[in-house]
């Protein structure tokens, strides 16, 4: 069954085509007094197409309606709209047929021709035929005199290169646009991070560091670049420098405090500075009382002062900021406390509570895209759904941080 949106566009297209055909027939009648056959022919095709629709034969109906709708300056945008709709419905091959048919018409203006080429490039990208899309876009960039079309072509080309992980090529295309379009700084910073990862895998750490510093020049709030620079400092044994790097993250994006905690702990532990680590955790709690920070502090107190001190600390913190993760950790501490006190087995009520918190935590969402709502257990720097960079962050709230 044809969906409502496509049916609506088709009926509009039919109406336009019928109106244009009828108008042209009237003009001819005034000039040469022909018989009223052309409008009848159009009506016949119209009812043939409508019959296909009623018999749930959408492909045949579409072909009939497209044939009825003559390509000219008045109807070309209707054809383009049909192609867009096919692409949106996942039928990019049909969109290609429509747009290629339009390009075969020599009477169209250059502006319209370039608009169709952009749509055809989108069709090829939807089909995964990237080489043909890239050729079209490069041609537009070389020959188009329309600034809007050139910008659209650059955006599409960048999107294509990003999909192919051609980070340096994408940077080369976008570089001239960064001043005019500052929103492109964030993705460009992440492309530099991707290049840094490649350099690290090839043992070119100095070049990787250069890429990461440039990423921060483009986007001073790029948490990913700061984390990677801190890791490079730790790889070189510069733990104090790594801590300085990590200390910038709350100012870049406070929601990423939980993201930085494993690296922060590693840096302090390798630097043999438990006292500094504890003080740093307290400073982070003053900024934002996240569950991960509370648990990290509890683990430190537990190791140094014992389970009862950890229970006291966690209980006090949870009274102020309750959370499911914190409760689960507190239950673990109580179970351990009972075992240390000599009880043969923990209280069954505690075990039941632990069972429920484990089940709830197992199904919780740990990270969510702030733009489209995509949920992910692990942190991803590019959202797989909306494909925006740096929009996935730890979930904040009773079930999160």
> What are the binding residues?
369, 372, 383, 386
Phi, psi of 175 (to 5 degrees): -50, -45
Maximum Cα–Cα distance across the chain: 110
Q: Give the residue ranges of DSSP H helices in 219-256.
A: 223-235, 239-246, 249-252
d(CA 384, CA 386): 6
User: 133, 147, 146, 140: which is closest to 181 by C-alpha?
Assistant: 147
How far are the Cα atoms of 100, 118, 155 from residue 144, in angstroms, in the given order? 19, 11, 15
Mapped onto helix, strand or coil, the DSSP state of residue 92 is helix
d(CA 233, CA 123): 45
Cα dihedral: 62, 64, 68, 70 (round 10): 60
> Which tokens go with 297?
């502090």
Q: Which residues of 106-140 are buried (b: 16+ CB within 10 A; e: fewer)?
A: eebeeebbbbbbbbbbbbbbbeeebeebbebbeeb
**Helical (H) or strand (E) element with 368:** strand 367-369
Known binding positions for Fe cation: 369, 372, 383, 386
Q: Give the residues across from 393 on adjacent strands.
A: 368
How many Cβ atoms sit within 10 Å of the Cβ of residue 53?
19
């Amino acid at each position: 069954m044809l969906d409502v949106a496509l049916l609506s566009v088709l009926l509009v297209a039919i109406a336009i085509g019928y109106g244009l055909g009828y108008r042209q027939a009237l003009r001819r009648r005034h000039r040469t007094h022909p018989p009223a056959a052309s409008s009848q022919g159009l009506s016949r095709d119209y009812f043939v197409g409508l019959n296909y629709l009623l018999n749930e034969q959408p492909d045949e109906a579409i072909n009939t309606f497209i044939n009825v709708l003559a390509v000219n300056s008045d109807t070309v945008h209707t054809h383009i709209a049909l192609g867009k709709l096919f692409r949106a419905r996942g039928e990019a091959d049909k969109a290609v047929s429509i747009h290629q048919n339009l390009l075969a018409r020599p009477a169209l203006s250059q502006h319209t021709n370039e608009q169709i080429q952009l749509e055809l490039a989108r069709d090829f990208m939807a089909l995964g035929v990237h080489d043909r899309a890239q050729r079209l876009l490069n041609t537009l960039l070389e020959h188009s005199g329309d600034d809007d079309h050139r910008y659209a072509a650059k955006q599409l080309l960048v999107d294509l290169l990003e999909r192919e992980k051609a980070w340096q090529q994408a940077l080369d295309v976008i570089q001239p646009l960064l001043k005019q379009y500052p929103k492109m700084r964030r993705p460009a910073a992440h492309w530099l991070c991707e290049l840094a990862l490649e350099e690290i895998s090839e043992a070119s750490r100095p070049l990787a560091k250069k890429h990461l510093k440039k990423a921060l020049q483009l986007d001073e709030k790029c948490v990913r670049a700061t984390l990677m620079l801190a890791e490079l400092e730790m790889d070189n044994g510069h733990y104090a420098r790594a801590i300085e790097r990590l200390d910038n993250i709350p100012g870049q994006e406070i929601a990423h405090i939980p993201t930085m905690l494993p690296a922060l702990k590693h840096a302090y532990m390798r630097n043999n500075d438990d006292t500094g680590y504890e003080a740093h955790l307290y400073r982070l709690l003053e900024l934002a009382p996240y569950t991960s920070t509370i648990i990290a502090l509890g683990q430190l107190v537990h190791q140094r002062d014992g389970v009862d001190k950890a229970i006291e600390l966690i209980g006090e913190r949870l009274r102020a900021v309750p959370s499911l993760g914190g409760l689960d950790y507190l239950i673990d501490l109580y179970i351990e406390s009972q075992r240390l006190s000599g009880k043969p087995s923990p209280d069954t009520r505690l075990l039941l509570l632990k069972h429920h918190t484990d089940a709830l935590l197992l199904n919780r969402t740990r990270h969510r895209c702030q733009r489209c709502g995509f949920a992910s257990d692990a942190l991803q720097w590019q959202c797989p759904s909306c494909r925006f960079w740096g929009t996935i962050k730890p979930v904040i709230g009773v079930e999160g941080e």
